[in-house]
Amino acid sequence: MRKRTLKIVTCLGVIVVFLGIVYSISVALAAAKVRRAYAALEKAGRPMHVEDVVPPAVPDTENAALLYESAALLLRSQPAGEKNLLGRLSLTQRARAESEDAIDPAETRRLLGLEVVDQALAMVKQGTSRAGCRFDRDYEAGSEMLMPNLLDIKALSRILRDKALLAAEAGDSEQAWDLCETQLRFADALRQEPVLVPQMVRLGMIGGSCATIQELCRAVLPDKGRQKRIEELLIVYDDVTPLSRAVDGERLLSGDWIFNLPRDEVYTVMYRYYAESYVPEIFNRIKLWRAMFKPTFLADHAAYLRVMLESAQQFERPYVREEVIVEDMEFFTAQKHHWFTSALTPATVRLNEIYLGLVADLRMTRAGLALLRYRETHGAFPDTLDALGLEGLADPFLEPSQLLYKKTPDGFVVYSVAEDQKDNDGVPRQPYSKADYDIAWRFPNP
């Protein structure tokens, strides 16, 4: 009996030792993968420390963010029905009509004409001339970093657009273009933000500014000096650096922050933000505990670093359709097999398409302004875009091919082939339609 017991204990001991060795080897191999992933990031020249992506401090006298926040607070302090004035004027036209506290266009015009709105927009304009812009953020808070002013920034940009269109409607082209230029400059308020959400807000603000420019061109062109300044800004915004840098910021400020938290805090954060609400709680807990097994956790960390390197570089490469990327990119496999990687990796393929759509809009706007100025000088639109003498008009979805251009009986259409990389004759996307489309500026707008 004793011999049998001893044999069982010996076998169990051997199994435990064997499992311990396997565990140690698995941990060592996974840790080596993490080191290689960090080495690949460093070799690629990506930022490696939080200090590399956090915006530099800006003296209060040069910080545009303080003026932008003051402008928002000024409008928030003014009541407007059930909302404050900032919230009221930030609604889209459709949202205003559907709001429980609905106002008609005449009331919108009245609110935009209030002196306090002019005071707030004057603060924004003053801010756009300052040397720097840094909002007060706790960059050490990781995934729990708060960014409460993003909605205010979007709201102020929309108010600038609405005010510019109202001025154009009233025949005050000088004020309209001044507000438009302020809106375009204001779009750069979030350039230094090192994470993706504010960068997407920034892209939306730039796109809104392009829409304002195109709309105002129906009435009158800006003077040549202002047009030159606008064109220079459009060229500056045709830059992927803030976006790819924000992917690095996501890795350093959020991903690395989570992977380096104490184990119990990792569990708390991931369960709070990334648990699947549509499955029973027990399944989320089992999935998370399995993902936190140390060899699996380290392998997940290495996969995340590889995916984030690929994601940052993806923005800097020529466009490739998503179905091709899915077939060819190794990191999609990594996302599929690693829970943390899948949860923490941003949807960079779609973000890249959004960014390239904005680039197309920027280049179309430059081309359209030049076309209108050409007609003013020569009495007719040119036969090709080459006659404009502009550089940098490649279609971002089909580089190095140029944007497409056609004269129409009463104007022109300049367009990009968009994500499908097919020429759809300049037909723009229609709301709620799945039909093929192009990204286009048709002048005059229908």
**409-432 pLDDT tens trace:** 889 999 999 888 888 888 888 777
Helix (H/G/I), strand (E/B), else coil: 405: strand
Beta bridge partners, 335, equal: none
CA distance 359 to 351: 12
- The more confidently predicted of residues 349 and 42 is 42
Residue 282 confidence (pLDDT) above 80: no
**Residues 62-110 pLDDT 10s:** 999 999 999 999 999 988 777 788 888 887 554 444 455 556 778 888 8
- Return d(Cα 158, Cα 89) in angstroms, integer: 8
Q: Give CA–CA dist 143/135, Å, rounded.
A: 17
Where along the chain do its domains lie? 27-51+245-346, 60-237, 351-443
Composition of the chain by helix, strand, coil, percent to 5 = 65, 5, 30
Quick: pLDDT tens for 17-27: 766 787 788 77
Pairing of strands 411-416, 439-443: antiparallel
What's the mean per-residue pLDDT of the chain? 85
Region 365-375: mean pLDDT is 94
Cα→Cα distances 6→2, 9, 16, 74, 427, Å: 6, 5, 15, 81, 82
Strands 79-80, 404-408: pairing is unpaired
> From CA 361, how far away is CA 88, in angstroms rounded?
28
- pLDDT per residue as tens digits for the range 324-349: 555 555 555 655 677 788 888 888 88
At 442 the pLDDT is: 92
Q: Which residues, 6 or more positions from 298, have their beta carbon under 8 angstroms from its beta carbon?
A: 27, 30, 31, 33, 34
300 burial level (CB within 10 Å; 0-12, 13-18, 19+): buried
The three-state secondary structure class of 138 is coil
Token reading at 61? 């006298």
CB atoms within 10 A of CB 8: 10
